[in-house]
Chain A
Amino acid sequence: MSNPMTQARYQALIAAYGADPLRWPDDERAAAQSFQAAQMASADPALEEAVALDTLLSTADVPPLSFEKMVALQKQARPGLLVRLRRFFEWQGPLWQPAGALTAALMFGAVLGLADPDTAAAISAMTGLEEISVTVPDADLDFDPFGEDGL
């Protein structure tokens, strides 16, 4: 149970916390405000000085963050490598998109490789299989696997 508000305690609150009741201790605020209201008829130099100091304190500024530090902070403000990898492997889009792109790239590379007679001969020598060759008709030299006729 809190003690009744006294003049001494009221002055101590003003001296420590200033004139704004919002900064007074929660458990003493109501009693202090009642005490203050009862005193309003008489001048209170301590309260007036506290109001003046609170007003001055409200003007105290802070120098801005340096440009260099702000640039450093902005560079730092990004997901870490683990978060980025997790985001990549938690791909939420259609699976055919990355899978299809990878497959198309592999097939395109295989076609280019097999179209080269030297490559086809080397593969045949290594595998023992009948030489496989791919003849690219002249008309298809501009074939684009990712275009209209592609995959």
Chain B
Amino acid sequence: MTGDSDLLSDAAQGDASAYRALLERHVAAVHALAYRLLADRAEAEDVVQESFAALWQALGGSGKPAPPDHNAAAWLKRVARNRSLDRLRRRARWRGDEDGLDTMVDQKPSAENAHADAETGEIVRAAIEALPDRQRVALTLVHFEEMAQKEVADALGISVDALESLLARARRTLKSRLIAEKESIL
């Protein structure tokens, strides 16, 4: 299988098949990141489209940002993460109280309501989506993306201690919703 280096080089030379190969290779991971951060399907799809458009522009020699030369996934995810955070920061509840237990957003069907016929994955996904934005972002970047704590804290503009506090609250909230249903969903 051709590595990203070869595909990126071919795409920079105008090889249309390389563009499509890069898209197919990375679209799922970029979408998963955007969706977990935003918990909104339409916004996540817009971010995916913006991220790949940025890559195509960079490969076309737009100048800024410089295109990746070997790791397209990391480049795309960085763009997707930044654009997702920009959108989140514009939300009113991003600036509000992030204490999960008292102000947990519940715009999606609750785990209880969706439980009967929903698969475990959907129930867990719904519980994550219902977390306050900051907690969900912290959990997504540390747990699902396995980013370093300092890098996540910097991306959120908070200290590592504050990040750990967000993570602990997120996990506590999820535990209270999911572990209690463990027997019924497993």
| Chain A residues proximal to chain B, CB less than 8 Å | 12, 15-18, 22-23, 25-26, 49-50, 52-53, 56-57, 59-63, 65-66, 69-70, 72-74, 76-80, 82-84, 86-87
Contacts and interface: CB of A to CB of B under 8 A. Distances in A.
A65 B29 CA distance: 11
Contacts of A59: 120-121, 124
A60 B165 CA distance: 22
A84 B48 CA distance: 24
B175 interface: yes
Contacts of A52: 179, 182
Contact of B49 (A25, A26, A69, A80): A69
B125 A23 contact: no
Interface stretch (B10-18, B71-79, B83-91, B92-100): B10-18
Interface in B35-74: 35-36, 41, 45, 48-49, 52-53, 56-57, 59-61
A86 B121 contact: no
Interface in B123-150: 124-125, 128, 142-144, 146, 148-149
5 contacts: A16-B167, A56-B124, A61-B125, A79-B11, A83-B60
B171 A18 contact: yes
Contact of A76 (B49, B168, B182): B49
A24 B23 CA distance: 32
Interface string B2-34: 000000000101111001101100011001100
Contacts, number: 119
A22 B125 CA distance: 23
B13 A87 contact: yes
B178 interface: yes
Contacts of B128: 57, 60
Contacts of B56: 76-80
Contacts of B125: 60-62
Nearest to A61: B121
Given A56-B124, A87-B13, 13 more contacts: A16-B168, A17-B164, A17-B167, A18-B143, A52-B179, A56-B178, A60-B125, A62-B125, A65-B45, A69-B45, A69-B48, A77-B52, A82-B61
A74 B20 contact: yes
A52 B175 CA distance: 9
B135 to A, nearest CB: 11
A54 B86 CA distance: 28
Nearest to A68: B45
A76 B174 CA distance: 38
Given A17-B142, A73-B49, A83 B121 contact: no
B19 A78 contact: yes
B38 to A, nearest CB: 11
Nearest to A85: B14
Interface string B148-179: 11000000000010011101100110110011
